[in-house]
Amino acid sequence: MNKKSIKKSDKKNKASKDSKRKTVSKKEPSEKEPLLLQPPRGMRDILPADQPYWEHVRRVLSRLSYEYGYQRIDIPLVEYANLFTRSVGEGTDIVEKEMYTLTTRGGDKLALRPEMTAGIARSFIQNGMNVLPKPVKLFSMGQIYRYDRPQEGRYREHWQANFDIFGESNPIMDAHLIQLSYRLVTSLGLKNIQFQINSIGCSACRKDYRNLLVSYFESRKQKLCQDCKRRLEVNPLRILDCKEDKCVQVGSNAPQTVDHLCPECHLHFKNLLEYLDELNLPYMINNRLVRGLDYYTKTVFEIWADNNDGRNFSLGGGGRYDKLIKSLGGEDTPAIGFGLGLDRLVIEMKKANTKIYKQPTPRVFLAQLGELAKKKSLNIFSELEKNGIVVAESFGRGSLKSQLRLADKFKVEITLIIGQKEALDGTVIVKNMKTGSQETVAVEKLINAVKKILKNDVVVSHA
């Protein structure tokens, strides 16, 4: 290749590189979105300071669900969206306003669960639980999501516990479930609890009642809020549950559901009230209570806490949903359930200054000095933990003085000290913090020496 060809080639390559540079330079660097160090609106962290309340709630729920014969079930946070539109109802606020919906890359329309009963019913059908001995009792706990205006105790992501019974239509199960809910809230230290009870009938008697209700509200339509005007077309029972003052006034003289029950629903409600009287549970018949979900039949109830300021705080509620399983494609299966809002329970517990769960406090502190002592202390910590002895430590701190200061802060009864000499000898210095005495003990005899000082009153860390 001659010099002219080489120069032409160099110019061509240079022009190509310049062109690439220009192309690259045309791309504007994308601006980074500001990082918001906070959760989305209506969602929050549950910090360590609040965890004792939550741990107490979880322990009470776990214990009573076992004692009342419920089995734990966990369902997905995400379900197909039409599961909720079919079960909860298209005319409900949950479906129309509050559901978090999404479409996957594959085109599936999904929703974050706005309540748990529909998913539990789906699982009941899918997994053939209808063949299990009746009644089938299921307990579940987890987050639910509703795109609603955040308020006290009602976040967009909030926690709920569900108790559901499948396969029994006798009203004694309604009373038994209400008894359980009362036991739960009182076990958490809450008092001044009252149940709001109503019956909204079955599909047969509700049809006539619905026509009567529509006729009543049609003549007063102009006095209703915009939402209730729409509800009059799609779900007139929800007007009774509206909290707007003008709708409350209009609904105060509306026909009452209990006056228009069929003989079967009337007898069911009558027997339920007799059971509640026998249990001496505090309840009040609330003719405006309908609950906001389409699947409810017959019994509906809510658990109210009196805040001593004239306001009633709903801690949860539930009712019968005898036709839900069949409407989703399963066998005709009567069912009843209720849900508790755990966020609201914790708020009420704080207000009432109730006793809460306390973690076992450490009675032994493990101090070490030097790299070899640190290595040996890991095994010693493990052996103490295996034997149910709760141990505090400070592996990251080098100063023995600072570690002993921390031991004083924990108010432990024993401090175990391992230095370079002890690490080589296979021994540990056992210091009794109450008497100030100390002795050197071989590692293989350490557990017995510690238990002897603690007088075998060992705090079990795996409770």
pLDDT confidence of residue 23: 47
The verdict on pTM exceeding 0.75 is yes
**Pair 348, 368 in one domain:** no
**Pair 178, 289 in one domain:** yes
DSSP 326-385: HHTTS----EEEEEEEHHHHHHHHHHHT-----PPPP-EEEEE-SHHHHHHHHHHHHHHH
> Nearest 5°: CA angle at 422, between 420 and 423?
65
Can you tell me the mean pLDDT for 63-89?
A: 93
Q: Which domain holds residue 371?
A: 364-453
152 burial class (0-12, 13-18, 19+ CB within 10 angstroms)? exposed
> 280 in a domain, yes or no?
yes
Dihedral angle computed from the Cα positions of residues 312, 314, 315 and 321, in that order, rounded to the nearest 10 degrees: 150
Structure letter (DSSP) for residue 142: E
**Token pair listed for 419:** 């230095």
Q: If pLDDT is split at 50, 70 and 90, which confidence band does 253 have?
A: confident
**Pair 442, 401 in one domain:** yes
Q: In CATH, what number is assigned to the domain containing residue 62?
A: 3.30.930.10
Q: What is the pLDDT of residues 142-199, one digit of tens each?
A: 999 999 888 877 899 999 999 999 999 999 999 999 999 999 999 999 988 999 999 9
Above 70 in pLDDT, residue 249? yes
Q: What is the pLDDT of residues 388-431, one digit of tens each?
A: 898 998 887 668 888 888 888 888 999 999 999 999 999 999 99
> 228 in a domain, yes or no?
no
Characterize 339-366 residue by residue with b for buried, 16 or more Cβ atoms within 10 angstroms of its Cβ, and e for exposed: bbbbbbbbbbbeeeebebeeeeebbbbb
Task: List residues bridging with 418 in a β-sheet.
Answer: 368
Q: Among 83-97, 165-179, 190-204, 372-386, name the one with the lowest average pLDDT.
A: 83-97
pLDDT confidence of residue 407: 87
> 62 in a domain, yes or no?
yes
Mean pLDDT of the chain: 87
Among the candidates 318, 352, 386, a domain finishes at 352
Which of 356, 98, 60, 273 lies closest to 183 in space, CA to CA?
A: 60
> 87 in a domain, yes or no?
yes
**Angle, helix 226-234 to helix 203-218, in steps of 10 degrees:** 140
DSSP 246-302: HHHHHHTTSPPGGGG--HHHHHHHHHHHHHHHHHT--EEE-TT---S-TT-EEEEEE
Q: Which percentage of the chain shows pLDDT scores above 90?
A: 54
**Pair 271, 127 in one domain:** yes
**Token pair listed for 127:** 């997994």
**Pair 336, 371 in one domain:** no
Can you tell me the mean pLDDT for 82-94?
A: 80
Among the candidates 331, 352, 373, a domain finishes at 352
pLDDT confidence of residue 33: 85
**Token pair listed for 3:** 């010099």
Which of 429, 397, 402 lies closest to 416 in space, CA to CA?
A: 429
> 209 in a domain, yes or no?
no
> 207 in a domain, yes or no?
no
Q: How many CB atoms lie within 10 A of CB 33?
A: 6
**Pair 383, 336 in one domain:** no
Q: Among 51-65, 291-305, 330-344, 387-401, name the one with the lowest average pLDDT.
A: 387-401
**Pair 107, 194 in one domain:** yes
Q: In CATH, what number is assigned to the domain containing residue 419?
A: 3.40.50.800
pLDDT confidence of residue 460: 42
pLDDT confidence of residue 341: 94
Above 60 in pLDDT, residue 461? no
> 13 in a domain, yes or no?
no
**Pair 377, 275 in one domain:** no
Can you tell me the mean pLDDT for 240-267?
A: 89
**Pair 164, 287 in one domain:** yes
Q: SS3 of 418, please?
A: strand
Among the candidates 326, 352, 378, a domain finishes at 352
Q: What is the pLDDT of residues 4-59, one digit of tens each?
A: 554 555 555 555 555 445 444 444 556 788 888 999 999 999 999 999 999 999 99
pLDDT confidence of residue 25: 46
How many domains is the chain partitioned into structurally?
2
> 431 in a domain, yes or no?
yes
**Pair 407, 335 in one domain:** no
**Pair 305, 413 in one domain:** no
pLDDT confidence of residue 211: 87
**Pair 176, 107 in one domain:** yes
Which residues are CB-contacts of 56 (< 8 A; sequence separation ≥ 6)? 188, 349, 355, 356, 357
CA 141 to chain centre: 5
**Token pair listed for 371:** 């790299």
